[in-house]
Chain A
Amino acid sequence: MKVIARRPESLTEAKFHYCPGCTHGIIHRLIGECLDELNLRENAIGICPVGCAVLAYEYFNCDMLEAAHGRAPAIATAIKRLQPNNTVFTYQGDGDLASIGMGEIVHASLRGEKITVVFVNNAIYGMTGGQMAPTTLLGQVTTTSPYGRNKDFEGYPAKMAELLSQNEGSAYICRTAVNNPANVIKTKKAIKKALQIQQQGLGFTMVEILSTCPTNWGLSPLDALDWVEEKMIPYYPLGEFKVKED
């Protein structure tokens, strides 16, 4: 018998604290599998965000550090510049990266820092109880936009992959989703490619992953996957936005 699927070595045995059906767990596993396959477990340094994934340092079996809210790219910059032979990745949510951390992420990208950012976009603040995030869709009901997000009052959702792909320092910018098996496989390929481009030293790499938040969206885990397909993907198109060759 050949083993097809098993817990990757780059993850610890700890139980995830995430809600039922939350796709953070899938993304953790994909990163763990990529670190295993590229033989980076001893070499990688991860930076955790503030948000639902704040305890990710309990789950990854590599060196991990906790950053202040939104400051993961700044810490990653310092680590990568001091330890250029290590592979550095950050794991950030949309409230962390696109709201309070907007300055850090844009300037890390402009400087072409050789780090990999895994950006989990679930269009809402999960940990704090479902407030409106910069990535909340127009018309989406949250606890701070009870009548739905209105473009005249709250403005438009932030398309981070498109924004960062404009910067010269970005080497690889991609958006994927984890709402079905085909997209999960594509997400894994994208994370692996981003880590490889970081190793080649071409510049800043980011993978934006459309994720679900069944609890705060008020949907069942299965309905949340359909919601990603029907509502999120039309506004946040999937694909590679920038690939720097050579």
Chain B
Amino acid sequence: MAKGRVRFFTDRCKACELCVKFCPKGILGLDEEIINTLGYHPVNILHPEDCNGCGICALMCPDMIIEVERE
């Protein structure tokens, strides 16, 4: 059971990958199958079960597209 839950507002994502680089679990990645309204492949969580809800992705996101909740 995952301890954390992340939610993405993908229409605002600019695919800068700052969250991907700093996620301590390495479970974020760009979703190559989607193109958002800004024209980027938005970020998505690849292994939601491993998220511990530390919030570092949201701390580094320049566009505030990430909401994080923790148990």
A19: B residues at CB distance < 8 A: 14
B40, B54, B60: the one contacting A184 at CB < 8 Å is B60
Q: Which of B14, B64, B69, B71 has the most CB of A within 10 A?
A: B64
CB distance from A187 to the nearest CB of B (A): 11
A20 touches B59 (CB 8 A): no
Q: How many residues in A have their beta carbons less than 8 Å from beta carbons of B?
A: 28
**Majority DSSP secondary structure for residues of A touching B:** mixed
Complex interface: stretch among A2-10, A100-108, A192-200, A201-209:
A2-10
Which chain B residue has the least Cβ–Cβ distance from A7?
B64
A55 located at the interface, meaning its Cβ lies under 8 Å from any Cβ of chain B in the complex: no
A184-B59, A221-B17 known; 7 other A-B pairs, CB under 8 Å?
A5-B58, A5-B68, A18-B62, A18-B63, A21-B62, A25-B61, A185-B59
* Residue A180, interface by CB 8 Å: yes
B60 touches A26 (CB 8 A): yes
Interface residues of A in 1-54 (CB under 8 A from B): 1-7, 11, 15-16, 18-26, 29
Q: How far is the CB of A52 from chain B (nearest CB, A)?
A: 12
Known contacts: A20-B14, A20-B40, A221-B17. The answer to whether A4 contacts B4 by CB under 8 A is yes
**Which residue of chain B lies nearest to A22 when distances are taken between CB atoms in the complex?**
B62
Determine if B67 is an interface residue (Cβ-Cβ < 8 Å): yes
In the bound complex, residues from chain B placing their C-beta under 8 Å from that of A5 are: 55, 58-59, 66-68
Q: Which residues of B contact A6 (CB under 8 A)?
A: 58, 67-68
Chain A's closest residue to B12 (CB) is: A15
B22 A2 Cβ-Cβ under 8 A: no
B62 and A4 contact, CB distance less than 8 A: no
Decide if A225 is an interface residue (CB 8 Å cutoff).
Answer: yes
Contact flag A21-B5 (CB < 8 Å), given A180-B22, A181-B56: no
Q: Does chain A have a CB within 8 A of B25?
A: no
- A to B CB contacts below 8 Å, 27 in the list: A1-B5, A1-B69, A2-B69, A2-B71, A3-B67, A3-B68, A3-B69, A4-B55, A4-B68, A5-B67, A6-B58, A6-B67, A7-B67, A11-B64, A15-B63, A16-B63, A16-B64, A20-B14, A20-B15, A21-B18, A25-B62, A26-B62, A181-B22, A181-B60, A184-B60, A221-B16, A221-B18
Pick from B40, B60, B63, B69: contact of A4, CB under 8 Å: B69
Cα–Cα distance between A185 and B56 once the two chains are bound (Å):
10
CB distance from B56 to the nearest CB of A (A): 5
- CB under 8 Å from chain A, chain B span 4-60: 4-5, 12, 14-18, 21-22, 40, 53-56, 58-60
Closest Cβ neighbor of B9 among chain A residues: A7
Chain B residues positioned under 8 Å from A222 (CB to CB): 16-18, 21
| B37 vs chain A, min Cβ distance (A) | 10
Contacts of A29 in B (CB 8 A): 64
Residues of A within 8 A of B61 (CB): 25-26
Closest partner residue, chain A, to B11 (CB atom) = A15
Determine the distance from Cα of A67 to Cα of B60 in the docked complex, in whole angstroms: 29
